Amino acid sequence: MKAWQFTTDAYPKAERRSAWRDAMARLRLPIGDLPQADPFHAQVSSLTSPMGVEFSKVSSTAQEIAGRNAEQPAAVWLALLLEGDATLMDGEEAVTVKPGDIIFGPTGLAAALRFDTRFRLLFITAPRVALDHRLLAPVSLKIGHLPAAGGINHVFSGLLKATAEALDDLTSDQLRPVELALTEFLVASLALEGGPAVQGGAAGARAVQLHRVCQVIEMMLAEPELTLRRVADEDGVSPRYLQKLFAAHGQSFTGYVRARRLERCRADLASPARGQLSISEICFRWGFNGSAHFSRAFRNQYGASPREYRRANVGGAA
């Protein structure tokens, strides 16, 4: 699937603002005041990834994106300012957003992003289910700002900028590695910045440690002998402490590892690039010890067997 595109140039001048509101409604973005002076020009190019992450490149003359869309499903949104001047208002303070900066927040909270000049923006909506398995709780998020001056935020910003530049030439399938990286970068940026998903003090330290543990697990997912003790030894803590770390976030070590392995298998099953692999090869590739156990766990998690899921997404036989 290729990106869908819209431009106000396709409409008579008198209809352009109304048409633009309809286009933004398709993105579930509430529009505030639109400038009445001509010329008014706006366009959007949008593409949805296989996991339901929506990438939209928006450019327009000065305007305001403001309000709260009650029909927006539970998700986390991100926006990368590519060009222009912007001010983010969350009801408490106004923050100047510079090109390269990333802003984010959960759907359901009212916010305003005001553009005083012509601008270009990459807007991303990630379904909550795409993030929950990484222990990020969107319900606890507030509106936030990640300056792109340096560190992991700078790398994250570069990834999103490159995605925006290539978006018109990408297909949905080609966004698969981007959607996986997006989750990792978002969780890492919030943890390292001490963002709103992380509390201060001892609780904040534990959240950062849990993020580090999860990164260790990611590197070892393919190993069948991935055990609580191995990960605890890798991080220099006791297995009991590690159990408590996961329990504090409503998880168990075993449940988390299983969910991450299933997610990796799901991505492979939906990928044409992995079409030559059998279902058994995919399950063993990500550390499962048996295909029967894997199939049961997959159906419980996603409501379909691995074979059914693959056929629905790539039309291939297992």
Give the domain ranges of the chain: 4-171, 201-314
Q: Which CATH superfamily is domain 4-171 in?
A: Jelly Rolls (2.60.120.10)
**pLDDT band per the 50, 70, 90 thresholds, residue 211:** confident
pLDDT of residue 177: 82
* 168 or 3, higher pLDDT: 168
- Among 70-74, 80-84, 182-186, whose mean pLDDT is lowest? 70-74
**pLDDT band per the 50, 70, 90 thresholds, residue 126:** confident
Torsion sign (Cα): 202, 206, 212, 215: negative
CB 55 within 8 A of CB 16: no
Rg (CA), the chain: 21
Q: What is the dihedral of CA 308, 310, 313, 314, to 10 degrees?
A: -130
Q: For residue 135, count CB atoms less than 10 angstroms from its CB and return exposed for 0-12, middle for 13-18, buried for 19 or more.
A: buried
CB 104 within 8 A of CB 146: yes
Mean pLDDT of 50-73: 82
pLDDT of residue 129: 63
User: pLDDT for 227-247, tens place per residue?
Assistant: 999 999 988 999 999 999 888
Mean pLDDT of 90-117: 87
pLDDT of residue 70: 62
Percent of the chain whose pLDDT exceeds 90: 44
pLDDT of residue 195: 47
Say yes or no to pLDDT of 87 above 50: yes
What does the alpha-carbon distance between residue 318 and residue 316 come to, in Å, rounded to a whole number? 7
- Among 136-150, 163-177, 189-203, 254-268, whose mean pLDDT is lowest? 189-203
User: pLDDT for 3-61, tens place per residue?
Assistant: 789 999 999 999 999 999 999 988 888 887 788 888 899 999 999 887 788 999 999 99
Topology of domain 201-314 in CATH is Arc Repressor Mutant, subunit A (1.10.10)
Q: Is 209 helix (H, G, I), strand (E, B) or coil?
A: helix
What does the alpha-carbon distance between residue 107 and residue 142 come to, in Å, rounded to a whole number? 10
